[in-house]
Structure 1
Amino acid sequence: MVVLHYTAMTNAEDALRRLCDDCPPEGLGPVSCHYLISETGRIWQMVRERDRAWHAGVGAWGGREDVNSHSIGIELANTGMHPFPEPQMAALEALLPGILARWSIAPARVIGHSDMAPGRKIDPGPRFDWRRLARQGLSVWPGAAREGDFHADLARFGYPVEAVAEADLLEAFRARFRPHGRGAVSAEDRRIARDLAERFPARAGAHSPTA
């Protein structure tokens, strides 16, 4: 899979130094990723695609818990407080097709850090334009189906629903697919979750422990 992140740092150069630091500051663990894309569209590759990078941490997607060993990580230089610039998005769109082709990665397996770690991570956040990637076949975007079981459908799509608070799961889901959604799980949430589960299942027969 491919996991997209934002750096949460002031600029790409600071992020590059952190990602390449063999001796991180006290209290911070090692971190690395395969690619970093600056606000101007410059791309650095720091880890070979076939090698494991330390970008994902604890989490899961589609039942796969060791995400670092099964993913390519892409960091986007962004504080998380502003939109992702056009040059940066264009560079990402130029980079992704080759990665997906080389490793036979389906668009549904291009995910955000928050997707695999709800409640722990929030990047790339609600300002990232997932719909734009989906229009180019580089990710997926939901339609609407009949209402279903929200937890069971998100589990089937790939989200790690076990031991995740409902509020955290809903926040991660909405940050990606309904950034303007508010309140408790709605009929619209349930409809688009069902559509994702039916068209892009990552786990056959997955179910919620409360279903």
Structure 2
Amino acid sequence: MKSVRLLAVLLGLLVISACATAPPRNPLADWRPSPNHEPRRARMVVIHHTAMRSAEGALLVLQTRNSGGRVSSHYLIGEDGRRYQLVAEQERAWHAGSSRWAGMDDINSISIGIELDNDGSEPFSDAQIGSLLELLADLTDRLGIQPHLVVGHGDVAPTKKDDPSVHFPWQRLAQAGYGLWPREAVGPAPAGFDAWAALRLVGYDLRDPQAALAAFHRHFRGRQDREWLEGDAAILHDLQLQLMELPQATAE
């Protein structure tokens, strides 16, 4: 009898231990676990497109070791708006590679990666963007991520990546409160305004200036020119003002 009771106690402890160590799962998404992760804490969100033909195909790549090396993201959103969670939010997924934003390196260690089922050549569906906005509302509120720190993979890795493509509706996200977007009444930049310095302040890595400029144009102007365009300085001046108006993040 004592041995039976002891076994019951041990089993109970195992159950409690398993519950305590199990990674939290977001009820907003279907749990599709990937083993490709490490522990960390998120400070920003990076949006990608899969450049594949289907969500199921992307899930297979994100859950396995493939020819290009292991890759994963925290979430994948299908064209129909269905959400999948592959990695727990406190774990470090492998989605951003070598990247940099606002002077911060190793973006994988400080970000949530969200893949969107899109091949990069077509608009994103309303269902998908609506689902993304719902997820962003949850993540920024629950994890304390500053809403303006929602960027694209091409923003943090401008020399190598161009996702989520010129078709991504950054303005719609900004209207919902995520990321930055120039305000409608954008006035001219003041005399002597340093557009390159402003580009760095927004967050872009200027080690390859033309690549950073192309990433800025892709995000804010829906094109990928590698030279300055008329109106760029006014946009950057407004973005700079918006950043200066943000409340300071509290130290933790």
After TM superposition, where is structure 1 displaced by more than 4 Å over at least 4 residues in a row? 180-183
What residue in structure 1 maps to residue 195 of structure 2? 150
Structure 2 counterpart of 1:72, which letter? I
Q: Aligned equivalents of 2:168 and 2:52: distance in 1?
A: 16
> Is the counterpart of residue 9 in structure 1 residue 52 in structure 2?
yes
How far is 1:180 from its partner? Answer: 4.6
| Secondary structure of residue in 2 paired with 1:69 | helix
Structure 2 counterpart of 1:174, which letter? H
Q: Aligned equivalents of 1:130 and 1:58: distance in 2?
A: 23
More strand by share: 2
What residue in structure 2 maps to residue 65 of structure 1? 105
Structure 2 counterpart of 1:24, which letter? N
Choose from 88, 92, 95 the match for 1:55. 95
| Secondary structure of residue in 1 paired with 2:98 | coil
Report if the CA contact (8 A) 2:52-2:119 is conserved.
Answer: yes
| Secondary structure of residue in 1 paired with 2:158 | coil
**1:32-70 Cα distance to aligned partner (Å, 9 max, x none):** 000000001111000011110000011111111010000
Choose from 154, 164, 170 the match for 2:213. 170
How far is 1:181 from its partner? Answer: 7.3
Amino-acid identity (%): 43
Q: Aligned equivalents of 2:99 and 2:76: distance in 1?
A: 21
| Secondary structure of residue in 2 paired with 1:114 | helix
Q: Aligned equivalents of 1:87 and 1:12: distance in 2?
A: 14
How far is 1:145 from its partner? Answer: 4.4
Q: Aligned equivalents of 2:187 and 2:148: distance in 1?
A: 18
Q: Aligned equivalents of 1:184 and 1:151: distance in 2?
A: 12
> Is the counterpart of residue 197 in structure 1 residue 237 in structure 2?
no
Question: Structure 2 regions of 5+ residues with no counterpart?
Answer: 1-43, 245-252
Paired positions, count:
196
> Is the counterpart of residue 19 in structure 1 residue 62 in structure 2?
yes
Structure 2 counterpart of 1:55, which letter? H
| Secondary structure of residue in 2 paired with 1:52 | strand
What residue in structure 1 maps to residue 139 of structure 2? 99
Residues 181 and 46 (structure 1 numbering): CA distance in 2 closer, same or farther, change over 3 Å? closer
| Secondary structure of residue in 2 paired with 1:40 | coil
RMSD of aligned alpha carbons: 1.5
Residues 195 and 76 (structure 1 numbering): CA distance in 2 closer, same or farther, change over 3 Å? same
Structure 2 counterpart of 1:109, which letter? L
- 178-187 or 82-91, which deviates more: 178-187
| Secondary structure of residue in 2 paired with 1:200 | helix
- 70-79 or 174-183, which deviates more: 174-183
What residue in structure 2 maps to residue 46 of structure 1? 86
- Structure with greater contact order relative to length (CA < 8 Å, sep ≥ 6): 1
Higher-Rg member (1/2)? 2
Structure 2 counterpart of 1:115, which letter? D
Provide the TM-score with structure 1 as the length reference.
0.88
> Is the counterpart of residue 114 in structure 1 residue 154 in structure 2?
yes
What residue in structure 2 maps to residue 137 of structure 1? 177
| Secondary structure of residue in 2 paired with 1:10 | coil
Question: Structure 1 regions of 5+ residues with no counterpart?
Answer: 202-211
What residue in structure 2 maps to residue 88 of structure 1? 128
What residue in structure 2 maps to residue 78 of structure 1? 118
What residue in structure 2 maps to residue 204 of structure 1? none
Report if the CA contact (8 A) 2:149-2:178 is conserved.
Answer: no
